[in-house]
Amino acid sequence: MKLSDTMATPIEEKLDQNLKVRSGMVHVSDGKSRPEPLRLNLTMELLTLQKLEIVTPTSSQHNGPPMESKERMVQITRQKQGGLGLSIKGGAEHKLPILISRIYKDQAADITGQLFVGDAIIKVNGEYITACPHDDAVNILRNAGDIVVLTVKHYRAATPFLQKQLTKDTPDSDNDVTCAELKADEGYKSSVNSGTISRSCSRPMSICSEPEKRWTDVVAVPLMMAYVTRYIYGTDKLRPNAFEVRGLNGVTTGVIHCDELAILSQWLKLITDNVVGLTHLQMKLYNRNFAVGERIEYMGWVNEGVINNNISWQSYKPRFLLLKGTEVMLFETPPRKTFAVSHHGKSGGLTLDWQAGFSLTEGADSAVVWQYKFSQLRGSSDDGKSKLKLHFQDNETRAIETKELECQVLQSLLFCMHAFLTAKVASVDPAFLSSIQQT
């Protein structure tokens, strides 16, 4: 594979002290075309390759919404005075997302430069709060620790209303009144009903007629359970001054080349640190379901040597290693797993499939009784022994349908279910993220 000899620029660090956005110019090859210069952009949860494009604004662009932004993770360091430095409105009892309604100047949320009025908080430290009442969300935020990781997305239609409320000096405690007025607001209501609420970036659209330069995403690799490799696939040879990043779903950056070894080493460390950090966060969530002796001690990608007498070199294949209690597990690809369950007194099998999601089969012919995608799961509950409830939302009626099951290996089923959900969130089911909170 031919790589560019053009020197990469040093890595730049942007924005705040809590969440650093690193970027730098590199050259990338897919092995089929000539290497081209791209910008590598690294955040806590995503590695993105971007191309510089010249955009000529049109009248439709001026009147349309800003460019859509992606769901993002923001890390906040709680201050002794002022806490997180934000206020929220909304909640499940109002059939509204948990919305940031105020950001206090020069306090923790404001210092990040990454949070905005109108952001909906999806997760706190990796846990979903989309089904929480307002007071529960307040308590979760207050007790989230000194380092808090928020997963947010921006609701552009709600932003003008919330900003207008600030000018009225609406008390932060008057949540019910604000939510009632927000739901009654015709602009917000029409956007909700038509499904056109979009996530917007903070950068305003250009109002000039001059062509503008814009970085557009070429490929984005989620870092949750991703891995970095320098091996040339199928050999034991390391790429000189080059590497690639592969996501859990197989999405790859292509071969990224840096002429300076110091820059290469820096990129490898920064990306690996983010992958490890996300993996440790996920391990903590998993381990809440296990006893002390059954907890996960390590999980991550390793290279397994494959012996082949027909070749003179050592071949390596990536494997996902999991150390859980006294067990050592190696995974190659996301599996298809079926558990023996009981449903309304009848024996059946609950299958978790990477593509199909959840499906229940019964009878000698394994007829499918019901099937739901991962994106339709709205929650689950169990008794810690054998009984499990899964709450799915119908895509057409939007009604919640609850399925009750019994499984003798409940903890194994829960672990497998969480592993599949994590993989879908990180990669191949974008509908999962976009459907977490629909109003």
We report the CATH number of the domain holding residue 428 as 2.30.29.30
pLDDT tens digits, one per residue of 350-369 = 988 766 789 999 887 778 89
- Per-residue DSSP letter, 200: B
The domain of 80 spans: 72-194
Q: Per the domain annotation, does 256 fall within a domain?
A: no
Q: What is the rounded distance in angstroms from the CA atom of residue 89 to the CA atom of residue 82? A: 18
Q: Per the domain annotation, does 152 fall within a domain?
A: yes
Specify the length of the chain in residues: 439
CATH code at 95? 2.30.42.10
Tell me: pLDDT of 33 over 80.
no
Positive or negative, the CA dihedral 166, 168, 174, 176 is negative
Joined together, the tokens standing for residue 97 give 């997302």
Tell me: pLDDT of 150 over 80.
yes
- Per-residue DSSP letter, 131: T
**Stretch 143-170: mean pLDDT, rounded?**
75
Of residues 85 and 13, the one with the higher pLDDT is 85
Residue with tokens 């099951």: 405
Q: Per the domain annotation, does 59 fall within a domain?
A: no
Domains in the chain, number: 2
User: Of 162, 194, 226, which one is at a domain's C-terminal end?
Assistant: 194
Q: Is the pTM of this model over 0.85?
A: no
pLDDT tens digits, one per residue of 218-248 = 888 888 778 898 888 767 788 888 999 988 6
User: Of 175, 194, 213, which one is at a domain's C-terminal end?
Assistant: 194
Question: What pLDDT does residue 384 have?
Answer: 84
Q: Per the domain annotation, does 187 fall within a domain?
A: yes
Q: Per the domain annotation, does 430 fall within a domain?
A: yes
Q: Per the domain annotation, does 77 fall within a domain?
A: yes
Q: Per the domain annotation, does 377 fall within a domain?
A: yes
Which residue pairs from 142-149 have beta carbons closer than 8 angstroms and sit at least 24 positions apart in sequence? 142/83, 144/78, 145/78, 146/77, 146/78, 147/75, 147/76, 147/77, 147/78, 148/75, 148/76, 148/77, 148/78, 148/84, 148/124, 149/44, 149/73, 149/74, 149/75, 149/76, 149/123, 149/124, 149/125, 149/281
Whether the CB-CB separation of 361 and 368 falls below 8 Å is answered with: yes
Q: Per the domain annotation, does 65 fall within a domain?
A: no
Q: Would you tell me the crossing angle of helices 261-287 and 410-426 to the nearest 10 degrees?
A: 140
CA-based nearest residue to 126, from 257, 278, 243 = 278
User: Of 152, 177, 194, which one is at a domain's C-terminal end?
Assistant: 194
